[in-house]
Amino acid sequence: MRHMAKMSLAGLGMLGLSTAAHAQGCVLCYTSAAAAGPGAMHALDMGVLALLIPALVLFIAIFSLIAYRVRVASRPVHAVAVAPRLNLSTSFLRRVFRQRRSVSATA
């Protein structure tokens, strides 16, 4: 277990050191958007927002589903509603059939 934790920590460290991870802070992207004018900056901001909203909604939906399932699974056993058990023993069925015979015989 410790080996796996060390390997995942090392992987995250390498990912943080990569140049591709810092592409969002790229000076070239910022200067080209700033040179295009305020309309282009606004359009770029709206584009980022439009791409962020569906991903955020999907993340919240999946997280909510997981939280709901964990909450349902962690309920105590006595809180779960149990359907009433039908008494279909042989003595019960014999009694029912006797009552039906006696009702049909008197009618």
pLDDT bracket for residue 58 (50, 70, 90): very high
- With contact defined as beta carbons under 8 Å apart, do 46 and 57 qualify? no
Mean pLDDT, residues 73-90: 65
pLDDT, tens digit, 9 for 90 and up, residues 23-51: 556 677 777 777 888 888 888 888 888 98
Instruction: Give residue 22's pLDDT.
Output: 55
Range from 24-28, 55-59, 92-96, 98-102 that averages highest in pLDDT: 55-59
pLDDT, tens digit, 9 for 90 and up, residues 10-22: 877 776 666 555 5
